[in-house]
Every structure is written in structure tokens, then in C-alpha cells.
């Protein structure tokens, strides 16, 4: 059930059965020479919809732009500042809490969002308390990164070993290839790929990682691998969502 394709009476009826909602969140950022700029949002949205179908949960509209300031030296990247993303999360959750939702399960596709999301949750709890929003004291938010699912991580290591890397990875590129086979890209990739450097500002990031990849061999991705990763993530996160929903 997709929130943006539902009517308010349908949402009201849903809330009589469940107060849980799934939020896909990703990023719009460079993913190397063959990775789509929308990779993080594409993966999060598709997996969240799969989890929604498997658990009969409502799925909110995808937050497509995240915290990707360190990628902005590459054309096409769009980023929010951490303070802006915190306000976005706070306002989304506050609005839906007023409607009756209390369990917010964020399926995340971008590592750069994690710290900001956790800060946003803390600020949101405080705002809900200060505003004395009904049921605000019952609100719980959780971030679930599809790419750190144990089953996904295990398969990535089996398929790619150390060439999985940590950005523009073959696993995430594979998921986009499975979902959008018509948009598969081809480009020459250097065998030498930078890895292990700390992340500072955008210009420094591009100097250290000139083609945008971080230790990854994106060329190893295939649509067949992507379906495997998608299925594993949906299964593992469906179980995680149901556990979250039933917990105190």
C-alpha cells in the first residue's frame, strides 16, 4: 500500500489495524562511471515497496535527496545539509504522528544518511514532547540499511570479495540493473581504484577518489546478482520490520 496512491479514508482505515509505516530514503549522488546517480534512492524505494507488499505495510513517498555533500564535486549530485535533512525528517514524522502513526521504519540506501538520521530521530522525540503531540511519547524510529543486511553482505563477499568496496559497489549497481535493465551503463574502468582514504570535503573527495568509486569494481555487477540482493534484502527487512512493529 503506497501512501501517495491512497486516499485519506484508506489511511484512516489502515491506522485501525497498524500504526507502522515504512519510509524509503536514499540519495541523489554520483556512483562512479557506470552507476546511476539515483542508485541509493532507487534501491531503497524498490526494497521498501517489496517489504510493504510482504508485510501489508503502508509505504511513504521516497526521500530521494539525502546528505551527500562530499559528492558534490561530481556533476549531477544533489545534497541536503545535515541540518536541512534533520528538519525534513522531523516534519515528516511529526505530521504523520498527528495522524496516528507511531512506528517509523526507515529503509536507507545511503551510508551518508545514517548519522543525520539518528540525530533527526533524537530531535524529533524532543519536538514531539515539547509540542505535546498526542501519542508522541509512543513514537519510535528505526533506520535499517539494506546494504548491511547480513544476508546481503554475505552474498556480496561471496560474489565480489574485496572488490565490493564501499561506494559505487557492484551490489548496489546490480540492484539498479535488475530494476532498470534498459538503463545499464558501460564505460571503461581503471583497474586501479582508490580506497581507505578518510572523507572530508567535496573537492578533497574527488582528488582522492577521481572516478567516484571507493575500492569497488562496479563492472562485476549483473542484473541476475541484483535480483538475488533484492530478494535477500526484502526477506531480511520484512522480518526486521515485523519485529520492530511487535516490540515495545
CA angle 225, 25, 28 (to 5 degrees): 80
pLDDT digits (tens, 9 = 90+) for 136-174: 999 999 999 999 999 999 999 999 999 999 999 999 999
Domain positions in the chain are 3-246
d(CA 45, CA 24): 5
Q: For domain 3-246, is the CATH number 3.40.50.10310?
A: yes
Decide: 141 and 247 in contact? Cβ < 8 Å.
Answer: no
Mean pLDDT over 172-183 rounds to: 98
221 band by pLDDT with thresholds 50, 70 and 90: very high
Query: What residues are paired with 23 via a beta bridge?
Result: 106
Q: How many CB atoms lie under 10 A from the CB of residue 203?
A: 11
Sheet holding 58-59, edge to edge: 58-59, 20-25, 103-108, 140-145
Q: Using one digit for the tens of pLDDT, what is the confidence trace for 18-40? A: 999 999 999 999 999 999 999 99
Amino acid at each position: 500500500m503506497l501512501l501517495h496512491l491512497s486516499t485519506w479514508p484508506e489511511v484512516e482505515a489502515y491506522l485501525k489495524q497498524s500504526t507502522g509505516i515504512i519510509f524509503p530514503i536514499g540519495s541523489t549522488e554520483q556512483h562512479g562511471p557506470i552507476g546511476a546517480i539515483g542508485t541509493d534512492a532507487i534501491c531503497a524505494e524498490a526494497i521498501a515497496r517489496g517489504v510493504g507488499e510482504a508485510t501489508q505495510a503502508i509505504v511513504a513517498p521516497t526521500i530521494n535527496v539525502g546528505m551527500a555533500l562530499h559528492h558534490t564535486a561530481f556533476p549531477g549530485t544533489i545534497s541536503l545539509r545535515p541540518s536541512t535533512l534533520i528538519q525534513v525528517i522531523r516534519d515528516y514524522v511529526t505530521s504523520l504522528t498527528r495522524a496516528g502513526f507511531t512506528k517509523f521504519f526507515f529503509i536507507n540506501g545511503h551510508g551518508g544518511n545514517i548519522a543525520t538520521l539518528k540525530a533527526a530521530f533524537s530531535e524529533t522525540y524532543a519536538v514531539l514532547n515539547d509540542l505535546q503531540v498526542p501519542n508522541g511519547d509512543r513514537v519510535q524510529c528505526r533506520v535499517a540499511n539494506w546494504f548491511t543486511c547480513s544476508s546481503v553482505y554475505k552474498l556480496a563477499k561471496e560474489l565480489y570479495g574485496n572488490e565490493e568496496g564501499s561506494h559505487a559497489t557492484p551490489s548496489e549497481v546490480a540492484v539498479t540493473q535488475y530494476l532498470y535493465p534498459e538503463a545499464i551503463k558501460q564505460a571503461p574502468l581503471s583497474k586501479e581504484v582508490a580506497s581507505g582514504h578518510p572523507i572530508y570535503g567535496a573537492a578533497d573527495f574527488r582528488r582522492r577518489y577521481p572516478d567516484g568509486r571507493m575500492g569497488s569494481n562496479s563492472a562485476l555487477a549483473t542484473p541476475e546478482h541484483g535480483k538475488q540482493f533484492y530478494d535477500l534484502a526484502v526477506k531480511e527487512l520484512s522480518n526486521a520490520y515485523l519485529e520492530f512493529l511487535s516490540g515495545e
